[in-house]
Amino acid sequence: MRKPPALLVVFGVSAALFAVLPIGYLVLRLFEGFDRALAELLRLRTLELLGNTILLVTAVSISALLLGFAQAWLTTRSNVKFASMFAVLAALPLAIPSYVMALGYISIFPNFSGFFASWLVLTLATSPYVFLGVTAALVRIDTASEEVARTLGLGRFQVLRRITWPQVRPAATAAVLLVALYVLSEFGAIALLRFDTFTRAIYNAYRGSFDRTSAAALALVLLIITLIVIWFERRYRGVYLANTKALGKRVRVDLGSWSWVAMAGLALVAIVSVGVPILSLLVWSVQGSASLNLTMLLDALWGSVRLALISGLVIGAFATAVALWAVRYRTKLGVFVETVTWATHALPAVVVGLALVFFGANITPWIYQTTWMLVIAYMILFLPNALAAISTPIAQVPRDLEDVSQSLGVPANRTLFKVVLPIAFPGIIAGVALVALTVLKELPATLLLRPTETNTLATRLWGATEDLAYSQAAPYALLLVIIAGLPALALNSRARKALSEVRG
Amino acid sequence: MATLNLRGVKKSFGDVEVLSGVDLFVEDKELVAVLGASGSGKSTLLRLIAGFDKPTAGTIELAGKEISSVTKVLVPEKRNIGIVPQDAALFPHLSVSQNIGFGLAGWSSKDKAARVTELLEIVELLGFADASPDKLSGGQAQRVALARALAPRPAIVLMDEPFSALDAELRTRLRLDVKAILQNQGATAILVTHDQEEALSLADRVAVLRSGQIVQVGSPTEIYNSPVDIGIATFLGDAVLIDGEVKNGKVVTLLGALNPLNKVIEGQIGRVAIRGENFYLLPNPKGEGEVIGQVFFGHDAVVEVVTKGLKIRARSNGPFAPEVGMKVSVWVRGSVNFYPV
């Protein structure tokens, strides 16, 4: 076993500590004040929140599954016209942060709120995950097996139920769990649409009183629910990601006159998920353009970009170190560190933010309310994404090249910098860009931890909605879609792959 | 009686006519190979018989009952037809036995189990009953696909290039297995293939499909020995084409006067097709032929010879094949097919 360079070890171990310490501290503090925390949790209100959260998660999971599956089947398996265009439209909501979508609706219909509103917006925002996962699975089923089933006595619908669905189920399950995690951690859209779930209650409890025990106790419950879902999601992730099988042969089903119904349905979903919110924001932006404070907008844009750049670079560096350590050296500690940094994957940003508030205020006051605290929060939230993006290009560098380099007299550590990193560089940069774009869209942790003088597009948008000044919020929302949402979708390799496979 | 009868079957996709009037009759318990190059419309023909597509003209009858016409197409699940696709296409989420038993929906569980076991035995995969399809080799998967198609005792089994994904040795062995299994089950079958060796060695009758039409139907020996035109002759195995003229009932060519197999008219000009195995090479220092190339296969060899300005490819007994540079005399053995121009 080769020994990793000390630099990698330092970066890797600190990444793991960042990931674990604040959450651990939150739990610890709660146990100190156990009686009070318990009293908080045993109120009827907790039960109500629990009921609302579970209701929303379940409802959105089911509807996103149905919608995403229908979109995937129609675009890959039926002869519906303009399938490629509808596929792009089905993935497009990924470019719109869900709170932006919610803003688009609430600014036209001020009474659009509560369960139904949250359910609708989150279904539209999350169905692309199901769409992409199911599409990838559908195009890998050889339709010959479905035709064989027809000759063995199954009708068209029975084939869908007994042959197609069982083969898509693992991917669909993984996607639905992803949707469930998304809804569990969603804060912005639900808060805008005024539906009481854990994330909104935690934020309000924190903002509304100086006693933070209540917020922390609720955060712990949300943490536990999330961990349960994550545990399920882990079991299916492999199936979801490992689609290496060759594409199957595909025969498209002739919909006949139903083709028009299908097209109308797909178009309607696109209008509701993308058309209405974007149009609404455009109209508000134009209407409010006279009173637009350009200095404020530019200040927020700079605040966002600055944070995104710093975080992208810092997180990229840490992710590269952990990936190098875990993938190229495979020492026990390296793999352990990778697992630990993964562990924070999909934790609700409200929980992470709150944990850092506690940790920062009590243990590290010297960085509390500085940019660095925010960067650490982003690192806990997005290091797993960065690792996923950066591990692959690093793992793909052939080991032979390292051997050759060393045989030519270049020591192992320098080989890393002269051979491995330069080859993996484009992939690493893509990972950094992806993290930076995700940071641009982040709302709850930014709200909780930002230094008072720092403003971003997301926080300005939020501030305007709190004053019900939708026309002021609209340009910020549009700018977010343009500079963060669309580029992130374009960089999303899963989306690109699935969309390119729809044809054929 | 499971006969299949295609009458004037046409199929177009948009402006492209893929099948332009196919007539084919398959007897009960007969194995017919439809032989054609890629793009000849073979797979389209199978899809029409299976009921996945609708013909643009013509009718298809199975066991005396019309199952496809321009106006009416019986759905695939009601046709009692089994199919074996190119790459087996086993249901990946079901075990081998579940795959085989899939079409036995109406059967009692006892009968079903007995039938599945019977077929597992026939395809020699008893030990794999509970295996998942991804644990099978290509040949095993193909045998399961055949068992799955045969299980409900279909009126006819359609096989679409079932051996093309396998390596050469396995292909030869599996062909014999499949033939025996089909005979054992008394099944009527159509095999679609582009491999002439496969068609000739397996089928009771071969139907040659070319640009959407069946140009010749006959037993394998008929098709091989008496192809109706030069195109089929060259498609069925390599043949050398030599100009000739009919004189006194014989075809006079540069290689001598040859006996025609088919009817000829005095004075006709045309070409003869001579297969590699019809050439006889005799090493002879004064021979007019010179060996310019040799490919050795062990049991036989292909020898390239230039004689009288003609380049021929002869099949020769492997160990005794003349070597490059040797002088040889060239004879033609047996009769040949003459095609007037």
Give the per-residue pLDDT at A124: 97
Give the per-residue pLDDT at A241: 40
Higher pLDDT, B263 or B320: B263
Q: Is the pLDDT of residue A412 over 80?
A: no
Give the per-residue pLDDT at A210: 66
What one-character-per-residue DSSP string does B182-200 give? HHHTT--EEEEES-HHHHH
Angstroms from A150 CA to nearest CA on chain B: 5
- Kindly determine whether residue A144 and residue B154, on different chains, have CB atoms separated by under 8 Å: no
Q: Is the pLDDT of residue B320 over 80?
A: no
Closest partner residue to A155 among B52, B77, B86, by Cβ? B77
- Kindly determine whether residue A152 and residue B90, on different chains, have CB atoms separated by under 8 Å: no
C-alpha atoms less than 13 angstroms from C-alpha of B271 in its C-beta half-sphere: 13
Give the per-residue pLDDT at A23: 84
Closest partner residue to B85 among A144, A154, A155, by Cβ? A144
Give me the mean pLDDT over the A430-440 stretch.
Answer: 92
Instruction: Give yes or no for a contact between B40 and B207, defined as CB atoms under 8 angstroms apart.
Output: no
Give the per-residue pLDDT at A415: 82
- Kindly determine whether residue A142 and residue B87, on different chains, have CB atoms separated by under 8 Å: yes
Q: Is the pLDDT of residue A65 over 50?
A: yes
- Flag whether residue B116 sits within 8 Å of chain A, measured between CB atoms: no
Give me the mean pLDDT over the A342-370 stretch.
Answer: 86
- Kindly determine whether residue A147 and residue B83, on different chains, have CB atoms separated by under 8 Å: yes
Angstroms from B7 CA to nearest CA on chain A: 22
In chain B, residues with a C-beta closer than 8 Å to the C-beta of A252 are none
- Flag whether residue B149 sits within 8 Å of chain A, measured between CB atoms: yes
Give me the mean pLDDT over the A1-14 stretch.
Answer: 82
Give the per-residue pLDDT at A55: 96
For A391-407, how does the pLDDT look when each residue is reduced to its tens digit (9 = 90+)? 889 988 888 788 787 77
Q: Which of B54, B83, B142 to mutate to test the interface with A (most CBs of A within 10 A)?
A: B83
For A437-487, how does the pLDDT look when each residue is reduced to its tens digit (9 = 90+)? 999 999 999 999 999 889 999 999 999 998 888 888 999 999 999 999 999
What one-character-per-residue DSSP string does B112-155 give? HHHHHHHHHHHTT-GGGTT--GGGS-HHHHHHHHHHHHHTT--S
Give the per-residue pLDDT at A74: 95
Chain B residue with minimum CA distance to A143: B89
Give the per-residue pLDDT at B193: 93
pLDDT band, very low/low/confident/very high, at A243 (cuts 50, 70, 90): very low
For B29-49, how does the pLDDT look when each residue is reduced to its tens digit (9 = 90+)? 999 999 998 888 898 999 999
pLDDT band, very low/low/confident/very high, at A242 (cuts 50, 70, 90): very low
Angstroms from A128 CA to nearest CA on chain B: 26
Q: What is the complex's ipTM, to 2 decimals?
A: 0.72
Phi, psi dihedrals of residue A443, rounded to the nearest 5°: -115, -60
In chain B, residues with a C-beta closer than 8 Å to the C-beta of A171 are none
Q: Which of A79, A140, A145 to mutate to test the interface with B (most CBs of B within 10 A)?
A: A145
- Kindly determine whether residue B85 and residue A148, on different chains, have CB atoms separated by under 8 Å: yes
Give the per-residue pLDDT at A247: 65
- Kindly determine whether residue B148 and residue A148, on different chains, have CB atoms separated by under 8 Å: yes
For A297-347, how does the pLDDT look when each residue is reduced to its tens digit (9 = 90+)? 999 999 999 999 999 999 999 999 998 888 888 788 888 888 888 777 778
- Flag whether residue A160 sits within 8 Å of chain B, measured between CB atoms: no
C-alpha atoms less than 13 angstroms from C-alpha of A485 in its C-beta half-sphere: 23
- Flag whether residue B162 sits within 8 Å of chain A, measured between CB atoms: no
- Flag whether residue B115 sits within 8 Å of chain A, measured between CB atoms: no
Angstroms from A144 CA to nearest CA on chain B: 6
Write down how long chain A is. Answer: 504
In chain A, residues with a C-beta closer than 8 Å to the C-beta of B102 are 149, 152
> How much of chain B is in helix, strand and coil states, percent to nearest 5?
25, 35, 35
Of all residues in chain A, the percent with pLDDT exceeding 90 is: 47
What one-character-per-residue DSSP string does A179-233 give? HHHHHHH--HHHHHTT---HHHHHHHHHHH-S--HHHHHHHHHHHHHHHHHHHHH
Closest partner residue to A144 among B89, B93, B103, by Cβ? B89
For A40-52, how does the pLDDT look when each residue is reduced to its tens digit (9 = 90+)? 788 888 889 999 9
For B122-179, how does the pLDDT look when each residue is reduced to its tens digit (9 = 90+)? 888 999 999 998 889 888 999 999 999 999 999 999 999 888 877 878 888 888 888 8
Q: Which has the minimum average pLDDT: A338-342, A361-365, B253-257?
A: A338-342
Q: Which has the minimum average pLDDT: A18-22, A126-130, B198-202, B326-330?
A: A18-22
pLDDT band, very low/low/confident/very high, at B68 (cuts 50, 70, 90): very high
Give me the mean pLDDT over the A176-199 stretch.
Answer: 93
Give the per-residue pLDDT at A377: 93
Give the per-residue pLDDT at A237: 59
